[in-house]
Structure 1
Amino acid sequence: MNVDLDTAKEGLAVLQQYGGQAAAAAGSLLAGLASPFQLFEGGWGLNLLFFGVLGLLAYSLVVLAPRQ
């Protein structure tokens, strides 16, 4: 199988362009799906802390409280 080097480079350049566009689309999709859960500006740390505490509160009310 003989493949011309210039043809292979052109094909890889197009493939790289499509890969970059797919990565950008996936990043936009992820940001769009996660944006409703971003309550606090300035990063994910405070948001994760808030939802972690909220999860522990829900666990204590739903699972632990009926046992008492």
Structure 2
Amino acid sequence: TIKNWAFNVSQGYIPFKTAYSQAMDAGRTLNETKYKGLNEKTDKIIQQIVDAAINTQDKKLKRSK
């Protein structure tokens, strides 16, 4: 699997939905659709990505000390 190649992977995914396209067409982000469930799902995935980025940066900083 992709995880075995040392890639960070999220738990879940952001599905292809028309509501996301509509939000972006209106200048909003993926978690600003008119559907609470889609927004919450997107928030969880985005938070996982942010957490992974912070964790990676923290590891790099610890190695450089």
TM-score, length of structure 2 as denominator length: 0.48
- Larger relative helix fraction: 1
Q: Which has the larger radius of gyration?
A: 1
